Chain A
Amino acid sequence: MALRLETVSVNLEGHPLIAPFSLAVAPGEIVTLMGASGSGKSTLLSFIAGDLESPFTAAGNVRLDGVTLDGLPPEKRRIGRLFQDDLLFPHLTVAENLLFGMPRGPRRERLAKAEAALAEAELSGFGERPPNTLSGGQRARVALMRALVAEPHAMLLDEPFNKLDAALRQTMRSFVFEHIAARRIPCLMVTHDQGDVPASGRLLLLKDAMVTDA
C-alpha cells in the first residue's frame, strides 16, 4: 500500500493555491503538511478524497497501490479520513458507528471485530452507549477506530487534534500514530500546529503556494 501524488496542484478561481508538487507516502509512513489556515491544505485533502467542490479546482494524479483514483467517487477510493470533529453519527450507538463502515460479512464476525476494536481503544463495554455520553477523548478514539475498521488503504488527517484540550492532545497523537503505523497504512496529515508533527515523520511546509521539505 502506498499513496502517490503526481504533479498535483490546487487552484481557486484560476489563482494557484498550491503549485504543482509530487509526493510518495510509504506504507506506515506519516507525512505532515504544515501551512497557515486558508492556505489550501484542507482543499488538497478534499481533492485526494474525491469531494472537491467549486470554486476550487485541482489538477494532477493521485495513485493508491499503483491505481489511479481519477474519476472514482469518494466512497470507492478506500481512503479513510479524520476530521476536526469526530463526526460520530448521533443516532447510532458506539458499536453501530463502528459497524457502519466495516465491510459486509457474517454479523457475528462483524460484532466480534467491533468489540475487539473497542478493546483496543480501551473502551470495552462502551458499545451500547450513545456517542453523546462519551468524553471528548473517548469520542476521538472511537472516530479513529471507526475509520480503521473500514480497512482503508490510506488515511487523511485534517487537523484531527485541533479541538481536543491540551492535556488530551499528546496522548491522542501517539494513539493515532501508533495505530496507523501498526497497520502499515500510508497517512497524510495537514495541520498548522508544530506540536502535531510526529517525531519520526517527514514534514513538508506549504508557504506562498509552494510545497517544500522542511
Chain B
Amino acid sequence: MNRLGAVPLALLWALPLLLSLALLVPTALDGAAWALALAHPQLWPALALSLATGGLSTLIALAISLLLLGGLPRSRVWHRLQGVAAAGLAIPHLAFAIGFAFLIMPSGLIARLLIGGDAPPQWVSVQDPWGVALTLALALKEVPFLLTAGFAVLSRGDAAVRIKAEAQAAASLGHAPGSAFLRIVLPPLLRELRWPLVIVFVYGATVVDMALVLGPTQPPTLAVVIWHALNNAEAGVNAMGLAMTLLLTAALALILAGVALILRLGRQAMHRLLTAGPSPLQTPRLLAALAGLVTVLTVSFALFILVLLSLAPRWPYPALLPPAVDLSAWASVPPATLWLSLLLSLAAAAVAVASAVLWFETHGARHDRWAIALALAALALPQLASAGGQYKLLLPLGLTGTLFGLFLAHLTPVAAYVLIVLAGPYRAFDRRYVAAARALAASKLSAWRRVKLPLLKAPLLTATAIGFAVSIAQFVPAQLIAAGRFSTLPMEAVTLASGGNRPLTAAFALALAVPPLLAFLAAALLGRPRWR
C-alpha cells in the first residue's frame, strides 16, 4: 500500500473543498452581512418559493419514478427504460430547461399543436410567478436520476432474484402485485434512495441556471437573489449573498431533519400498514405507462424543438414546422467556447477518474467512508455554498480568472460523482482474478492492465461519461471562478436565454446537450462485454 496514491485526490479535490467550506465560517459571524440579508425585502417570499419548488419537484419526480419502477412489468420495456433513463440523465439541466421553455411558451410547440389560432395564446407559462414551470421542469428532469438510482438498487448483486422470490412468497400469502411492491420492495428501496432524494431536493431548491430561464422574477427564487448578490461588484453585497446562502442551507437542513423526525415518529403506524394483512391492490399499470410516456415525450420533444429552432431563423405562429431552414445559428456558435467546454470537461472527467482509481488501488475499502462522506457532502450541499467558498479560497491565491482555477471549479462536483459511481463496482471486484494472473507470472502492472482494467472497463467508462456530463453542465462555479475572463457553453446559454435570439439560444443549448449524449453512447458501446 502506497500512501502517495491519495495525493492527487487530496490536493486537487478534498483539500480545496474542505478549505472552501471552512471559509464560509467567517461569513456566519459577519453581523453586517446578516443585517443586510435579513433586511432584504425579497428574502422570505424568495425562500418560500425556493423551498416549494424544490420540495414539490422532488415529490413529483419520486412519484413518477416509483410508478415506473413498480408499475411496469419486468419485461423488455423495463430494460429499455434503463437506456432511456441514462440518456435523460446525460442531458444537462440547462439545455432541458431551454427546450422546455420553447415547448410551453405562448408561441411554443404545445400551443401550436393544441391551441392554434392566428395569434399565440395569452398565457403566462415561462417564468410564471408561482414557479409552476420551474417545478415541472425540475421534476421531469430528475426522473432519470431517481430511476437510474432505483434501477441500481433493484439490480444490485442478487437483488433481482431475491425480489422475484419474495414477490412469489407474498403472492402465496395472499398479496396482489401492487400490495407486494408497496409492502416488500418499497420500504428498503426508499431507504436506499434517501441520499439521491436529498441531492435532488437540495439541487432543486438551490438551482440557479434553470431558475434564471424558467423561474419567477418578482420575486425570484432565493438562489437567484443570491446569484445576483454574488455577482455584484460590491464586497458588502457579496457577503450578504453568502449569508443568504447559509440561511438557505440551514432552512434545507431543518426541513430534512423534520422529514427524518416525522418518518421516525411515524414508523409504528407505517409498520401497522405494512402488516395489516393481505390486500388485492393491483399495480397501476395504466397510470405508470402514462407517466412514463409523458416524461419521455416531454424530454424528447424538448430536444427536438431545440434542433428545429436552431435551424429556423424565422418560424411564424402557428406553423408546426419552420418554412425554411439554414445553418446560420450553428455557424454563430464560437468554436473557442465550444472547445473550452469540451476540453475542460474531458480533462476534469479524466483527472477525476484517474485520481479515484489511484485512491482505490492504494487504499483499502475501509478508508472509503471518508472519501464517500465528503463526496456526498459536496453533492448534498447547495452549490452556491461550495462555489461561494471556493471563490473566497481562489481569489487571494490569484487563481480566479485562470484556466487552472476554472479546472478546479469543474473538478469539485465531477470527482464527487465519479467517486460515488466507481466505489461500488471497484470494491466489488473479485481480487482472486488478479491473484490468479499474478500466479501465472504476470507482473503487478501487467495483471492490472490485462485483467482488472478490461473487467472494470464498463464502470470506468460510465464514470468518465458521467464526469464529462456533470462537468459540461457546470454554471455557478464556472461563472464565479472564470471572473469574466473565460466563457463556457452554460454561461453563454444563460445569457442568450434572456435575450431574443431564439435560434442562437437553441444552438447553444444543443451544443450543451449533444456532447454528453455522445459520451454516454460511446461509454455504452465501448463498455459492452465481449459476450453475455
Contact = CB atoms under 8 A, between A and B. Distances in A.
Nearest to A87: B169
Interface residues of B, number: 25
Given A91-B187, A91-B188, A83 B277 contact: no
Interface in A112-137: none
A100 B183 contact: yes
Interface string A10-53: 00000000000000000000000000000000000000011100
A156 B177 CA distance: 20
Interface string B260-296: 0000000000011011111010000000000000000
B169 A81 contact: yes
Nearest to B167: A51
Nearest first, the 6 A-B pairs at minimum CB distance are A101-B173, A74-B171, A99-B275, A104-B277, A81-B172, A87-B169
9 contacts: A78-B174, A83-B169, A87-B166, A100-B277, A101-B174, A101-B277, A103-B277, A110-B277, A156-B172
Which of B168, B170, B183, B272 is the most central at the interface, judged by chain A CB atoms within 10 Å of its CB?
A: B168
Nearest to B175: A75
A100 B168 contact: no
Contact of B168 (A49, A76, A101): A49
Nearest to B281: A75
A101 B279 CA distance: 9
Given A75-B280, A90-B188, A101-B174, A51 B275 contact: no
B168 A96 contact: no
B277 A92 contact: no
Contacts of B399: none
Nearest to A78: B174
A175 interface: no
A150 B172 CA distance: 9
A160 interface: no
B276 A96 contact: no
Contacts of A87: 165-166, 169
Nearest to B279: A104
A75 B168 contact: no
Given A91-B187, A103-B278, A104-B278, A147 B172 contact: yes
B276 A104 contact: yes
A150 B278 contact: yes
Nearest to B74: A53
Contacts of A139: none
Contacts of A96: 271, 274-275
A147 B173 contact: yes
A79 interface: yes
Given A91-B187, A101-B170, 7 more contacts: A73-B176, A74-B168, A75-B280, A78-B174, A92-B271, A96-B275, A146-B173
Contacts of A80: 172-173
Which of A50, A92, A152 is the most central at the interface, judged by chain B CB atoms within 10 Å of its CB?
A: A92
A171 to B, nearest CB: 23
Contact of A89 (B177, B179, B184, B280): B184
A55 interface: no
A105 B276 CA distance: 8
A147 to B, nearest CB: 7
Nearest to B272: A107
A13 B271 CA distance: 43
Contact of A100 (B165, B176, B177, B275): B275
B275 A150 contact: no
Nearest to A90: B188
Contact of B174 (A50, A51, A150, A156): A150
Interface string B150-181: 00000000000000011011111111110100
A164 interface: no
Contacts of B171: 49-51, 73-75
B165 A83 contact: yes
A159 interface: no
A102 interface: yes
A100 B277 CA distance: 5
A118 to B, nearest CB: 14
Nearest to B169: A87
Interface string B182-211: 011001100000000000000000000000
Contacts of A85: 165
A87 B386 CA distance: 45
Contacts of B278: 75, 101, 103-104, 150
A149 to B, nearest CB: 9
A150 B187 CA distance: 22
Contact of A83 (B168, B174, B184): B168
